[in-house]
């Protein structure tokens, strides 16, 4: 009796083991088309992570401004040491400092001209901060579509194999094809979600730097309006 139960259990165990899914094996069994799609998605993932890390570190560095920076600028301007103020801005070498430096170089001209020069410099600094960030937005939208393309290719291949088998539906062949096809969709969604989250996080971080730039610009213009 016990041997009979063991014989009935063994096939069940073996069957459960056969259903174990290996992602790597699915990718390798996906044919040339599926492998190309997954390779492309992996490349996009690496690119997205590289852009995110590089921009995150750059934006983080741009947000580190000494709290006494404007006080030092105000002191130098009040003493008439415009060159010393410019040197201080060059030493700091941050977007906020670059705006102030542009404003200092326009001192003596109408206030409207100074404001315009600062705004133009601000647009340039924002452009530098947002370098390659748009690529993340593109990847977040393109990756799921590329994954879906892999799924369609996998379905076409599966149907083609079934047709070549004489029209007889082989459940195992069909299920293997579906596993392989859906792998590219999952991969595309994963890459798209990661890129989308990374893009929005960088946008929020950039907005904080822009706000700091605007606040400093207003403070600098108020400094020029103060009575001597």
Roughly what angle, to the nearest 10 degrees, separates helices 69-78 and 171-225?
30
Cα separation, 99 vs 90, in Å, equals 11
Across 187-220, b (16+ Cβ under 10 Å) vs e yields bbeebbebbbebbeebeebbeebbebbeebbeeb
pLDDT score recorded for residue 189: 93
Give the residues of the chain that fall short of pLDDT 50: 2, 5-18
15 in any annotated domain = no
Return the C-alpha torsion angle 86, 92, 95, 96, nearest 10: -70
Phi-psi region of 67 (alpha: psi -120 to 50; beta: other; left: phi over 0): alpha
1 in any annotated domain = no
pLDDT digits (tens, 9 = 90+) for 87-114: 888 888 888 888 888 888 888 788 888 8
Q: What is the DSSP letter of 167?
A: S
Q: Which domain holds residue 209?
A: 24-228
156 in any annotated domain = yes
pLDDT score recorded for residue 44: 95
2 in any annotated domain = no
11 in any annotated domain = no
90 in any annotated domain = yes
Report the predicted TM-score, pTM, of the whole model to 2 decimal places: 0.76
pLDDT score recorded for residue 12: 45
Q: What is the DSSP letter of 147?
A: H
Cα separation, 145 vs 112, in Å, equals 48
13 in any annotated domain = no
184, with CB counted inside 10 A (0-12, 13-18, 19+), is: buried
pLDDT digits (tens, 9 = 90+) for 216-226: 888 888 877 76
pLDDT score recorded for residue 45: 95
The CA distances from residue 61 to 43, 123, 129, 220, 228, in Å, are: 27, 18, 11, 22, 35
Instruction: Print the SS3 string covering 57-121.
Output: HHHHHHCCCCCCHHHHHHHHHHCCCHHHHHHHHHHHCCHHHHHHHHHHHCECECHHHHHHHHHHH
- What total number of domains does the chain contain? 1
5, with CB counted inside 10 A (0-12, 13-18, 19+), is: exposed
pLDDT score recorded for residue 83: 86
109 forms bridges with which residues in the sheet? 107
4 in any annotated domain = no
């Amino acid at each position: 009796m016990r041997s009979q139960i063991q014989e009935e259990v063994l096939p069940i165990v073996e069957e459960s083991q056969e259903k174990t899914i290996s992602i790597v094996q699915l990718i390798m069994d996906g044919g040339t088309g599926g492998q190309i799609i997954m390779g492309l998605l992996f490349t996009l993932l690496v690119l997205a992570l590289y852009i995110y890390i590089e921009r995150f570190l750059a934006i983080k560095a741009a947000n580190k401004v000494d709290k006494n920076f404007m006080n030092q600028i105000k002191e130098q301007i009040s003493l008439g040491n415009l060159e010393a103020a410019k040197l201080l801005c060059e030493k700091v070498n941050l977007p906020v400092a670059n705006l102030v430096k542009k404003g200092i170089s326009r001192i003596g001209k109408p206030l409207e001209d100074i404001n315009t020069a600062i705004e133009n410099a601000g647009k340039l600094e924002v452009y530098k901060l947002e370098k390659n960030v748009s690529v993340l937005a593109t990847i977040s939208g393109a990756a799921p579509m590329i994954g879906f393309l892999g799924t369609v290719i996998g379905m076409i291949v599966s149907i083609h194999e079934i047709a070549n088998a004489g029209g007889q539906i082989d459940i195992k062949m069909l299920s293997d094809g579906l596993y392989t096809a859906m792998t590219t969709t999952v991969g595309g969604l994963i890459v798209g979600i990661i890129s989308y989250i990374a893009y929005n996080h960088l946008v929020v971080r950039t907005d904080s730097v822009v706000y700091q730039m605007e606040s400093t610009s207003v403070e600098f213009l108020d400094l020029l309006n103060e009575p001597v």
